[in-house]
Amino acid sequence: MGLRFRKSVKICKGVRVNFSKSGASLSMGVKGARYTIGPKGTRRTVGIPGTGIYYTSSSSWGSGKKKSNKPSSYKPASKNAVVSSQDGKTTYTFTPEHVRVFKEYIDKITNFHKKCNDCVDWMYIENLEPPFVEGTVGPKQKEAETAYLNAKPTLLEKFNKSAFENRKQNLFELIQTGAAEDSDALEAWKNNVKVAKGVMSGDINSYYEAIEAADPFVDLSEYGTDIEFGTDNPRYVEVEFSCDPEEIIPIDTISLTSTGKVSHSNYSKTDYYALCQDFVCSYAIRIARELFALLPVENVIVHAIEKKIQGVNTRVILSVSFEKSVFDSLDFSKNIDASDFVETCIHNMDFKKTQGFKTVDKLDTGVIDLKINPNNTNSVREKKLKNEKVNVELPWGWLSENDEVIDLLEKDYWEKRNTYYSSSKTVDEKINNLKNLIASFLKMKADFESKGVYFEKYFNDHFYTNAGKKYDPVKLWKKELEELEDGYLDAKEAEEIRSKALPTLQNDVLQIIKDNDGILQKELVKRFHPCLKNDVLNVLWELTKDGVITKEKSGNSNILKIQ
């Protein structure tokens, strides 16, 4: 029972690739992709501390035995007890410690929504400096090289040369380890900046990369099966998660009486199904909170799919639409009842106190708009607000109702932005593309403002605010343009020099080393124009990697020799 607005193909356990009318988005990088988090995904990740975002360098999906949905931290009350048999009857003995563990478990599965990761500041990540200049020695490798060169035998090692040699060998191996760690850190930075730019530009595939990298639902995986994400629009995400509440909620309960004894009994139907409802609703809210913290979306639509362990029944038991502006106004760490909160949202949920969940239909974004705004009174209220010059908030359903108009108004801007950030090679292209971007942004601003107070509100919220902070992108771009124009002549000269030098640069570098065996790296670099410094360092790195030359540390430089 996959997401309905696209065709999906399951390619292996825990992974789905989705196709829209635009094509296979996961491989082609167009709209309509979905990423599925399953229970058997494994990957090696490195990342930038403090950002919560990681670079995924590999991913594999094992074929191990299927894990039970039953969390390892809890077993039903009767299975936690000391068991004894007498006269053919089974009795259980509980302790206060059993009661404590039981209460913690119940509290956890009905209050997932109280926890959430911090919001990700994508602008901060986009503007992070690299850990070091590509083509140069990284900090960890440099530290290891320094330790190796400065190593001197201790008093005992002077009488045991082999011990000193072993220590030197270990220090030498740390140089290789440091180089690998530096390489991972640089790749992490590249990927994080790429994803940040994609997320800020509304690239849907970048959304899925961010979800995969941040892995915000790791602590929920024991309580459900797959969590699947899908969208064709960067302003909302649709989610399905599979679960079986009756496999998570214990049928019996234990508690302490007023005299301190442990009482063991079955839940009443009402209490049992109430816990099932709280579990599902809390799980759904937590998913929405994590996505609001991670992605710049206004709505998260969550569908809960009941999937029986024996495979006898699969059905929708909850479909709810959450709005970010509502979430921003609440403190979920306080005593907010998950089921009551879902009741205040647009939702489909047929729940009976003594029978539990009934099957319901999924919400549809078009239907949501009709339910909220059947009389389409937005224009009347907007005119009143504009005349009174009061603060305005977007009414529920306005975004979906005006989705096509918004896309049309933004289309040229996103094209110009993508052109500037991905296609600008020469200084002339950078200046021209940046001017086009600024002009497109200002035109888009005027177009939004001309359509009324709601469109103006939307524009200011989305283009003059980032991670809750006000900023002016035009001001930043104009400063960048000024710097490009001030350095235009130098940049043009550098381009001409590089265009002439790059085709033969590797041969020229190699020839200098052959003619001057043992030349210092800093002396070699001085023989070229300063604009070629990074290019020369990249050539040296390639030659060293390929084993053509060797580098030997000497002071603050390297001695270069032909291998």
The tens place of each residue's pLDDT in the chain, 563 residues long, gives: 444 333 332 322 333 333 333 333 322 222 233 333 333 333 333 333 333 333 333 333 233 333 333 333 344 555 555 544 455 555 566 788 888 888 888 888 889 898 888 888 888 888 888 988 888 989 999 999 899 888 888 888 888 888 888 888 998 999 999 999 989 998 888 888 888 888 888 888 888 888 888 878 777 766 655 788 888 778 888 888 888 777 788 888 888 888 878 888 888 889 999 999 999 999 999 999 999 999 988 889 999 988 765 555 688 989 999 998 888 888 888 888 999 999 988 899 999 988 888 999 988 765 554 343 334 344 444 444 444 444 567 776 778 778 888 989 999 999 998 888 887 778 888 899 999 999 999 999 999 988 888 888 888 888 887 766 778 899 999 998 898 888 888 888 888 888 889 899 999 999 999 899 899 998 999 999 988 888 889 889 888 888 888 888 888 888 998 88
Q: What's the pLDDT at 139?
A: 92
Q: Provide the pLDDT for residue 350.
A: 93
- Of 279, 202, 191, 199, the closest CA to residue 233 belongs to 202
Helix axes 453-463, 427-450, angle to 10 degrees: 150
Q: Kindly state the helix (H) or strand (E) to which residue 370 belongs, with its residue range.
A: helix 365-372
**Per-residue model confidence (pLDDT) at position 313:** 60
**Are 537 and 135 contacting, i.e. CB atoms less than 8 angstroms apart?**
yes
Question: Are 434 and 499 within 8 A, CB to CB?
Answer: no
In contact, 39 and 212? CB cutoff 8 Å? no
Cβ proximity of 190 and 57 under 8 Å: no
Residue 410 has which token pair?
A: 């933004």
With residues binned 3-state (H G I as helix, E B as strand, rest as coil), the percentages for the chain, rounded to 5, are 50, 20, 30
Question: What CA–CA distance (Å, rounded) separates 184 from 529?
Answer: 30
- For 211, the token pair is 């979800």
Tokens of 427: 């200084």
Query: For residue 164, what are its two tokens?
Result: 């000193």
Which tokens sit at 368?
Answer: 């949501």
Q: In which residue are the tokens 């079986």 written?
A: 244
Query: Do 5 and 14 touch, CB atoms closer than 8 A?
Result: no
Q: For residue 188, give both structure tokens.
A: 């992490």
pLDDT in the model for residue 71: 38
Contact (CB, 8 A) for 467 and 122? yes
For the whole model, what pTM was predicted?
0.54
